[in-house]
Structure 1
Amino acid sequence: MNKHIIKHILTAACTTMLFSACKEEMLRGPIEKSKGAPGEISQVQIENRNGFANIIYQLPDNPDLAYVKAVYEVGRGTKREIKASYYTNRMTLDGFGDTLAHQVQLYAVNRGEEASKPVTITVQPLVSPITLTYRSMKVVATFGGINIQTTNQFRYPLVIMPLYDSTGKGAYSTLDNIYTEDSLINRNIRGLDTVATKFAISIRDRFLNHTDTMYATLKPIYEQQLDRLTYSAVHLANDAKFVYSTNQEMMWDGRGASQWPSAFTDESAGGPVSITMNLGKATILSRFKIFPYMEIGSNYYIRGNVRLFEVYGSNNPSPDGNWSSWTKLRDCEVIKPSGQPYGTETTGDQELATAGWEFDFPAGLPPYKYLRFKLLRTWQGHYGFSISQLKLWGASM
């Protein structure tokens, strides 16, 4: 090839590379040329909150201002940076897991990315939400596992992390984490051996702050799921009537939960109604789950799905339905974890419903052959109720 042609090609290539490098460098730099560092923010007010702090401030008088930046540490060596547009004069500093004093440097930054001199303030957050949740946490043995109860008053996103000593020698293994924003937390961890085991439970947030660890040695109570094929419907004189071509046996026919048709009683009932079932044999009951029917819009906490009810046991029920032959085993209320109003449900609400509304029987009950449910209130407030599926656990005699 002609030397002159080669020379021109190389020159053009170098020029293109140089132009591209310059263009890339220009794009990486500030969009606008700096007009001088802005003044400092002033009149800073601090509102210390649980796990965070709000600050309100006066912006400098500078038409070139772009944003305000806060730089601080939430833990030893863990830095956090928050930015707020010049359209606002407030900022939330979050990520704190303690109640210590934290220094914060505040900068006003212009469109040329030139920062003002820092203004140093000190924030001291109140007790973090995960610590408050940890302080109210209770862990007890339950049927087939352990039960964790606590309150999360700020509905703060958190993770409860349970461990258990799998060898008996201090070698801890993980159990399923509980991810939740619920205000009322009541979760069971099942499928554990019925031997005394040491458990360790702690809580963390999305900033990787951790609480202390709670240790407890607990012995899960033996149980197994009862055989639905031994169940049969009992129709006492004052029990509910089923409508829409449904019947009581649909509650344990093994179909997928939440499907239609589901057992549905007469909605025109003027007061509490009851249904009765024969378990087939005397059984020490441990717990049960009610799977609600899914209404239009994937809603569960509406219409005829149960909300308030009572459970009774008997070994010799009176044919006329007289309640004197029955012993109340427990009161039950379905709690919507989010606390949202009727017709509004969160993902957490719906996940709990699809997993089944679960209730434990008190420990130490004698065996019963017959169960009776008295329905006091549905989510809509009437007495006609729907149950998609019913599952029971315990130990048959």
Structure 2
Amino acid sequence: MIMNIKKYILPCLIVLIAGITACKKNNGFNAIISEDKTKPLAISNIKIDNFNGGANITYDLPNSPNILYVLAKYKINDNTARETKSSYYQDTVVVEGFAKEKPYEVTLYTVSRANVMSDPVTVTVNPLTPVYLAVRPSISLSPDFGGVSVIADNPLKKQIGIVVMSYNKNTQSMEIEDQHFTKDAKINYSVTGFASVERQFGVYITDKWGNISDTLQKPIIPLYEETMDKTKFNLLNLSTDSQIAYDWFTRYLWDGKLDGDGWHTASGVPLPYSCSFGIGKTYKLSRFVVYERIGDRYTYKFGNPKEFSLWGTNSSTPDNIRLPVRADEGAVIGNWVNLGNFRFPDPPSGNLPSASNSADEDFVKKGVSFKVPFTAPSVKYLRIAVATIWGNEAAAHLIEVTPYGIPE
């Protein structure tokens, strides 16, 4: 099988690589204003502290006011060279991104404010196992509703990429289906949208420097699920739910329009911000996709939910009871059961929510899928209860919700 990797992975690494090149900026450095062309002395008293995929190199600077920074040059693999700078205010330069656990040479220079380099000093670092390779042995693939489940351990909580592939009969090659970047210690997510027929799946680990592990491949038959028929949904009017504002009614959550109105609570209503609706018949839920409000003013801002719970009941007469702001999964309030507690992912760019970018907006626009625990009971009514939002407002809003499951 041919694996078409590069044409898919490179565009998705652009945002991450942009962060890497930031190490070349002179933030905190003096401007190059000196006319002194004297070659600076080299650093001395060098010490090395190795870590996973890199090393901290500490040193003593020459006693000169003309020093601008220390420059480290090194190769992280057979093809990729990197440079890292450290201001003269610092006594440490960090080198990282090495592809393997083996010795690497690093060449160090002192650079003056006239941009004159010292004689080189070469040291050898011995990085520990890179994180992407440390995670690789723990990764597994298993069937999930409409796709595959990926589970792995990332105890160092360093950012890695999980890349899921599947075999395409038309191209007769393994092609990338999804790329998931995370710092989570416990990785458990699904890639969905597949029919319940056997298909070859694969997964590998990458990092922000473009290093790639070997690929785990496995034939898998996704579990059956179906998109719920939203024409069968109906509003459940409960006085204990949040008051509506701006004519953004609960029924807009299933109108199929991602660029129109949605559900919006009034400002200042008590937590949790909640709404309720029927899904037509009893389903064993597998997952649901949430579409939050987007735009410069709203993406990761305003009343978009950050932490929320999904409640359900299979009773024909759902209790009109106020839900708690927080409760354990499986908790029962009246005849409502907590089906799961969820948190909307942070901006994939790594930026603060207040500084989300166009890539983050594209991520939100596509909708975010949340898995419902397999132990959750079958239900025919749902309630969304929002505990926290991304902004500072006292209200919540959503554009669309699409549940999936097995009808009963």
Distance in 2 separating the partners of 1:332 and 1:85: 43
Aligned counterparts, 1:386-397, within 5 A: 386-396=397-407
Are 2:382 and 1:372 aligned?
yes
Distance of aligned partners of 1:135 and 1:328 in 2 relative to their CA distance in 1, 3 Å threshold: farther
Distance of aligned partners of 1:182 and 1:78 in 2 relative to their CA distance in 1, 3 Å threshold: same
SS class of match (2:136): helix
Q: Which residue of 2 aligns with 1:309?
A: 309
Deviation at 1:314, TM superposition (A): 1.1
Larger Rg: 1 or 2? 1
SS class of match (2:248): coil
CA contact (8 A) 2:305 2:386 kept: no
Distance in 1 separating the partners of 2:85 and 2:394: 53
Cα deviation 1:113-156 (Å, max 9, x = unaligned): 7863x534221223323234435545432221123355667775
Aligned counterparts, 1:203-242, within 5 A: 203-236=205-238, 238-242=240-244
Gaps of 5+ in 1: 1-31
Deviation at 1:306, TM superposition (A): 5.8
Q: Which residue of 2 aligns with 1:275?
A: 275
Q: Which residue of 1 aligns with 2:337?
A: 328
CA contact (8 A) 1:103 1:120 kept: yes
- Output the amino acid matched with 2:253: M
TM (norm. structure 2) is 0.69
Aligned counterparts, 1:1-397, within 5 A: 40-59=42-61, 70-75=72-77, 77-78=78-79, 80=81, 82=83, 84=85, 87=88, 90-107=92-109, 116=119, 118-134=120-136, 137-150=139-152, 158-165=160-167, 173-178=174-179, 180=181, 183=184, 187-236=189-238, 238-257=240-259, 259=260, 261-272=261-272, 274-294=274-294, 297-303=297-303, 305=305, 307-318=307-318, 326=335, 328=337, 330-337=339-346, 344=354, 346-347=356-357, 350-363=361-374, 368=379, 370-375=380-385, 377-379=387-389, 384-396=395-407
Matched residues, percent identical? 22
Distance of aligned partners of 1:359 and 1:151 in 2 relative to their CA distance in 1, 3 Å threshold: same
- Output the amino acid matched with 1:74: I
CA contact (8 A) 2:233 2:279 kept: yes
- Output the amino acid matched with 1:148: V
Deviation at 1:46, TM superposition (A): 1.8
Distance in 2 separating the partners of 1:61 and 1:328: 69
- Output the amino acid matched with 1:286: S
User: Which range moved further: 325-334 or 80-89?
Assistant: 80-89
Distance in 1 separating the partners of 2:117 and 2:239: 84
Distance in 1 separating the partners of 2:360 and 2:110: 43
Distance in 2 separating the partners of 1:250 and 1:270: 22
SS class of match (2:247): coil
SS class of match (2:197): coil
Distance in 2 separating the partners of 1:262 and 1:242: 11
Distance in 2 separating the partners of 1:358 and 1:132: 27
CA contact (8 A) 1:313 1:329 kept: no
Cα deviation 1:6-60 (Å, max 9, x = unaligned): xxxxxxxxxxxxxxxxxxxxxxxxxx9997x765432112232332222233345
Q: What do you get for the CA RMSD once the two structures are aligned?
A: 4.2
Deviation at 1:308, TM superposition (A): 2.1
Distance of aligned partners of 1:47 and 1:264 in 2 relative to their CA distance in 1, 3 Å threshold: same
Distance in 2 separating the partners of 1:176 and 1:163: 5
Distance of aligned partners of 1:57 and 1:372 in 2 relative to their CA distance in 1, 3 Å threshold: same
Q: Which residue of 1 aligns with 2:15?
A: none
Deviation at 1:202, TM superposition (A): 1.1
Distance of aligned partners of 1:109 and 1:222 in 2 relative to their CA distance in 1, 3 Å threshold: same
SS class of match (1:176): strand
Deviation at 1:174, TM superposition (A): 1.4
Q: Which residue of 1 aligns with 2:12?
A: none
SS class of match (1:175): strand
Distance in 1 separating the partners of 2:193 and 2:374: 18
Cα deviation 1:74-98 (Å, max 9, x = unaligned): 34x4463536488565433223122
CA contact (8 A) 2:293 2:399 kept: yes
SS class of match (1:131): helix
CA contact (8 A) 1:71 1:79 kept: no
CA contact (8 A) 1:302 1:343 kept: no
Deviation at 1:243, TM superposition (A): 2.9
Deviation at 1:373, TM superposition (A): 0.7
CA contact (8 A) 1:273 1:383 kept: no
Distance in 2 separating the partners of 1:366 and 1:333: 17
- Output the amino acid matched with 1:372: L
- Output the amino acid matched with 2:370: F
Cα deviation 1:149-173 (Å, max 9, x = unaligned): 5566777564433233557xxx751
User: Which range moved further: 172-181 or 340-349?
Assistant: 340-349
Cα deviation 1:275-326 (Å, max 9, x = unaligned): 3322233434322122223476233354363622232131522475697773
Report the number of matched residues. Answer: 357
- Output the amino acid matched with 1:47: D
Distance of aligned partners of 1:338 and 1:247 in 2 relative to their CA distance in 1, 3 Å threshold: closer
- Output the amino acid matched with 2:231: L
Gaps of 5+ in 2: 1-34, 323-331
Distance in 1 separating the partners of 2:319 and 2:67: 83
Deviation at 1:251, TM superposition (A): 1.3
Distance of aligned partners of 1:385 and 1:95 in 2 relative to their CA distance in 1, 3 Å threshold: closer
SS class of match (1:100): coil
CA contact (8 A) 2:242 2:270 kept: no
Deviation at 1:178, TM superposition (A): 0.9
